[in-house]
Amino acid sequence: MVTVAQPHSPATPARRLPAVRHLGPNWYACVMGTAVVGGAGAALPGHIPGLRTVCTAIWALSLVLLAVLLVARSLHWLHHRDQARAHLLDPGAAPFYGCLSMALLAVGGGALTVGRDWTGTAAAVALDAVLFTAGTVVGLAAAVAVPYLMAVRHRVEPGQASPVWLLPLVAPMVSAAVGPLLVPHLPPGQPRETLLLACVALFGVSLLATLVTLPLVFGRLLTGGPLPLALTPSLFLVLGPLGQSTTAVGAFADVAPGVVPAPYAEGFAVLAVLYGVPVTGFALLWLCLATAHVVRARREGMGFSMTWWSFTFPVGTCVTGAAALARHTGLVAYEALAFVLYALLVAAWTVAAAHTVRGLLSGALPAGPRPGPGVPVPATVRTT
């Protein structure tokens, strides 16, 4: 009887729902990358017949993926707490807790941009309000907790700096970008102005934290050589705060008239252009740099890993950022840029999704890492 009961004891968690044992927080990137395809498509200038319907369907898929992952991750914490705690104490895995926040926010924002076509406005507002609130709380908690753990528990070295470090810091920027969608649905006056300025504060939280961290990442890249092959796609994560902040200032300018006094509303319109144009320029520079590193890594044998989802959400934020600049400048150049980036996004999502489905069906992804005999898996690679 003791032998029979042993597999169900806390000492052997790996035998309880083994399919979710290696399900780390990085899996929320699938939700983010899927949701942004729908949201970015809806933000494109002009009207393309059938595109909005396709975007709504993709958003619905992201909603289903979010629900499935929330259940699976709950089971992970329930049955494999040892692994869940190991993720928190792993400097390569802990930053991915920012993905939970961004997944909630991306799906919530999509509810109001495209999901309302199928759910109705009232249901879309309610869903977005719940997901925005939860995503913002989780994002702020991650923005504080992950750097704290890195300082007191992870003991990371400067040479270990990785774009993954940006994940918990960019989460409040996603709140800043999608929060203005709820502003028109609040009562006029103080509620609307409070939410708008709260989003501006979230913008500042993320922007300043990113400005402190990004030089570490760039410096490590220049002085420490290329990233490990499996981590090379994470260079695209740098595009996230750049594109999302451009999207955010554009959203501020969209809703500011009538919400804040006229001088400030005009200031938001000026900020949308004077901030968005140079930041988008740097984003394009980084896109070229990151692409060059990925091409090099691919030639050296880089295979598929979950880091390939880094090609999706960050590029999607650049699409919405370019679309915002097109609205506020009226320049055809930014309209064209938005379409080109969206084509890149769709291609990246198709490839990442196809490889992920293949990995799930084959069992390779749920099985987790397989280090060789006596060879540990590096912390920064273990989550891919």
Average pLDDT, the chain: 89
The pLDDT value recorded for residue 24 is 87
pLDDT of 157 over the 70 cut: yes
State the virtual CA torsion across 14, 19, 22, 27 in degrees, nearest 10.
-160
The pLDDT value recorded for residue 368 is 62
Q: Is 228 helix (H, G, I), strand (E, B) or coil?
A: coil
From the centroid of its chain, how far is CA 259? 29
Residue-wise pLDDT for 294-347, tens only, equals 999 999 999 999 999 999 999 999 999 999 999 999 999 999 999 999 999 999
The pLDDT value recorded for residue 371 is 45
Return the percentage of the chain with pLDDT > 70, whole number: 90
Counting other chains too, the contacts that 332-335 makes at CB distance below 8 Å and 24 or more residues apart are: 335/45, 335/46
- With a CB cutoff of 8 Å and minimum separation 6, the contacts of 213 are 165, 166, 169
pLDDT of 14 over the 70 cut: no
Q: Which has more pLDDT, 156 or 1?
A: 156
Structure-token pair, residue 306: 């979950």
pLDDT of 233 over the 90 cut: yes
Residue-wise pLDDT for 80-123, tens only, equals 888 888 888 888 889 999 999 999 999 999 999 999 999 999 99
Beta bridge partners of 260: 257
- Taking the C-alpha atoms of residue 244 and residue 202, their distance in angstroms, rounded to an integer, is 12
The pLDDT value recorded for residue 76 is 84
Nearest in space to 314 (alpha carbons), one of 218, 236, 206, 207 = 236
Residue-wise pLDDT for 173-208, tens only, equals 999 999 999 999 999 999 999 999 999 999 999 999
- Taking the C-alpha atoms of residue 352 and residue 304, their distance in angstroms, rounded to an integer, is 8
> Which DSSP category does 257 fall into?
B
The pLDDT value recorded for residue 150 is 87
Superfamily in which the 18-355 domain is placed by CATH: Voltage-dependent anion channel (1.50.10.150)
- Taking the C-alpha atoms of residue 35 and residue 113, their distance in angstroms, rounded to an integer, is 11
pLDDT of 384 over the 60 cut: no
Radius of gyration of the chain (CA): 21
The pLDDT value recorded for residue 327 is 96
Residue-wise pLDDT for 259-281, tens only, equals 999 999 999 999 999 999 999 99
10 Å CB burial of residue 271 (0-12, 13-18, 19+) is: middle
Model confidence at 2, pLDDT cuts 50, 70, 90, reads: very low
Q: In the chain, where are the structural domains located?
A: 18-355
The pLDDT value recorded for residue 16 is 66
Residue-wise pLDDT for 360-379, tens only, equals 988 888 766 554 333 334 33
